[in-house]
Chain A
Amino acid sequence: MQLIVILGIRLLEGMFAVGMAGSAVVLIVTGIEDLETLFGSEDSHLH
């Protein structure tokens, strides 16, 4: 039982750590886009 709990905790920690790393990159990329939106002339394009 203890092993399952520890595995669950490690899984959550892993998800959190990987998610935070990816989110940090998203934050930087959207931050640059935000600056362009606020101060530059942005052409909206479809993805």
Chain B
Amino acid sequence: MSSPFQPGNSASNRVRIVVATSVMLTFISYWRAAAIVLNDLGSSAFYAAGIAEQAVGKSAPWFIVGVMLFSFTVRAVYVEGCSMFVRGGVYRVVKEALGGTLAKLSVSALMFDYILTGPISGVSAGQYIAGLMNDIFATADAHGWIPRAVHIMFHGTPQVDVNWTSVVFAVAVTVYFWWENTKGIGESSEKALRVMQITTVMVVILLAWSGLTLLMQAHQSVPLPWPKNLTFSHESLGFLKHTDLATDLAKKFGLLGILIAFGHSVLAMSGEESLAQVNRELAHPKLKNLKRAAIIIAIYSFVFTGLTALLFVMIIPDSVRVPIYKDNLIAGLAMYMWGPLLLRLAFRAFVVVVGFLILSGAVNTAIIGSNGVLNRVSEDGVLADWFRQPHKRFGTTYRIINLVVFLQLFTILASRGNVYWLGEAYAFGVIWSFTFKSLAMLVLRFKYKGERGWKVPLNFHIAGYEIPVGLASVFMVLLSTAIVNLFTKSLATVAGISFAVGFFVIFTISERVNKHKHALHQQQMREHFQLLHSDKVEREGLGIRPGNVLVTVRDYNTLTHLKWALERIDEKDQDIVVMSARVSQFGAAAYDLATEQIFTDYEEHLFTQAVSVAENFGKHVSLLVVPARDVWSAIVQTAINLESSAVVAGLSSKMAGQEQAFELGRAWEAAEEPKRQFVLQVVHPDMNVDTFRIGPHTPSMKTEDIHLVHRLWLNITREPGLDKLHHNDILTEALTRFARDYSGQQREEILKQLRSVTGADPGSGIVEPRAIATTPAAKDADVSDGSPGKKPAPGAADAN
């Protein structure tokens, strides 16, 4: 066997490091993928119609419906992009088609979109909550429930300032998710699915109740989207308000009016980029599932955002719709339904709860999405490596998160809770990122002649040339809308261009600095390390034997567990593999990352330390870097692929050894067959070790239990006809009876008994993870049965 840094195994003494370039992903169903995207896309239903009506008047809902129908075609562009590239997001596609400069520009627009998603969602959620608070105060005051002293203090009915309350709320939610992302929570598809299920309940009630309301009481008509019905506000004409066009615009340019109104409604289809980000994680068959997810997303958002926009105008009276409910129209709709006030108030409270969930989720999605996009460009050397330095404790790219959250907080405060302003600015990022994307896809039709999984339809062939009429049509609509928006959204244009130029300059300077730095880095790398590119993690690639020991490392300051392993393992019997998982979130890694993008400065420093430790022990180690979506899945998959007998990890800074074992056990359960069992050893800083078996295994039995089985066997074999009974027959019968009782009426009693054994708090409903493993000395926990347990923060890159 050749050792990785054994002298003479290559032309030089450089240390060999195998860098796996395939991301180890956990795949999700199309329902979950659709739920993740809808958490972003669906949230616009809470504010888009209000913004559009303020800009273009009462016929705005038709434009929202038009935008939602048009979003079906934008979705088709994204599906084609994803069918060409596993990660078909804006950056990758534009870079491929139009080069680095326009890619940087398009990412700058996309970043503007993402940065604003957080503030608009947070402020909008705040508007719903503050609106409800004020209505509750007003109702309470009408009933005389407000104490006189409070009444005097507020000079009348107590009311909160809706905009500033929204600012406070948005800041609080953003700070909360900043900390959660710094700690390293992943975007849970489970949570997204739950939120969408609750939202669906609300949408179904909303539509059904609205239908009943339309039947039971008079309703208003929605003016058709003709130029004569458009009433542009002063603000909605932007730079045009200073020109002749501002007067009688509709008569002079009928279609231009429609175009301006369409431009003021495009923010209703924001969130399509998230589709490209979740595409990588879709289960097989990927393309079909992508199309299914895209259809669900399009239909759902059409029904939710499009149809509710019409209902707002039909049901909420003109006198209150814009003056009172412009920023919380769904709440307004609930208040003007047909039925008793108490029921309407209860439904409004439900709307606020759902709004809080989905809009807060969008704040989180915005931070994760921004972090993912900046990580991606950083991997290409467009952003300085400094930004990607992992957090010492949590391993996350905290500097990028800090930058994103700082910009979001600045935007929230600058907006002073004005949803209209935020929405107008948001539309700038949305429309320009879509325009760049569709232009790039159009160029790729001529530049890239290879096979595609799917194409936007309406393609004609003339003289051997393909004319992509459908794709060109979508691009023309987007481009014309984007250009018109430049003139009609003055504040958005100034803010958007300033922001995009700012980011573009940062990207360009970073790229130049990186080029110089990377040249030096490459030289050093050539002197010390030899990077071996490998698509898959395989034992043969590392030149190691089965039964090896996998040591996971993350922080070069905490390599105690590596020293522990090196002290105890005889390399004649077992090989040692040192593994680092580079964790990527949505949009941060791809199947086709270059080796140098995965093995960065940080990994070089980490492995230099690891090799130095190994050299002190005079032992050889194999080095491996694995890009991963989820660190636990990556460790399990690597251990299975390498046929490791043990995984050695340091004690996490944020979870107990049992919790680490529990997470690894869950990842083992989720891994595909064939898979093999292994032992996890969690080494504490004081060199104490917790040992866990991962995968099904014979449980350790207490001495008294063995005696009990034996006594039972002695007694039972005395019975007639049972003299040939074995000990295991007794266990089989006992377990069968236990399983029957557990699935029957005695379930609660059994759980109560087990909780008393494990010492878990019966009231909390939380079972301490594997308390059975807390026996002194060597701990032996069965962590692979997927039982409920206290859930530590998932996605943590903290299995060092």
Contact = CB atoms under 8 A, between A and B. Distances in A.
Interface in B260-305: 262, 285, 287-288, 291-292, 295, 298
The secondary structure that dominates the A interface is: helix
Contacts of B258: 16
B421 to A, nearest CB: 25
A44 to B, nearest CB: 6
B387 interface: no
B452 interface: yes
Q: For this complex, into which size category does the number of interface residues on chain A fall? A: 20 to 34
B484 interface: yes
A19 B477 contact: yes
Given A23-B474, A38-B292, A33 B453 contact: no
A13 B473 CA distance: 13
Contacts of B474: 19, 22-23, 26
Contacts, number: 100
Contacts of A34: 291, 295, 298
A22 B458 CA distance: 8
Contact of B473 (A9, A19, A38): A19
The secondary structure that dominates the B interface is: helix
B480 A30 contact: no
A13 to B, nearest CB: 4
A4 interface: no
B631 to A, nearest CB: 33
A12 B287 contact: no
A20 B70 CA distance: 8
A38 B293 CA distance: 10
A37 B256 contact: no
A46 B453 contact: yes
B76 interface: yes
A38 B469 CA distance: 26
Interface residues of B, number: 40
Interface string A1-20: 00000000100110111111
A17 B452 CA distance: 29
Interface in B452-472: 452-458, 469-470, 472
B255 A16 contact: yes
A33 B72 CA distance: 12
A25 B291 CA distance: 18
Given A30-B457, A31-B72, 12 more contacts: A12-B256, A15-B479, A16-B262, A18-B473, A19-B474, A19-B478, A22-B474, A26-B474, A30-B76, A30-B456, A33-B457, A37-B292
Interface of A: 9, 12-13, 15-23, 25-27, 29-31, 33-34, 37-38, 42, 44, 46-47
27 contacts: A13-B253, A13-B255, A15-B480, A16-B258, A16-B259, A16-B481, A19-B475, A19-B478, A19-B480, A23-B470, A23-B474, A25-B458, A25-B473, A27-B73, A29-B458, A30-B76, A30-B456, A30-B457, A31-B72, A33-B291, A38-B295, A44-B285, A44-B453, A46-B452, A46-B453, A47-B452, A47-B454
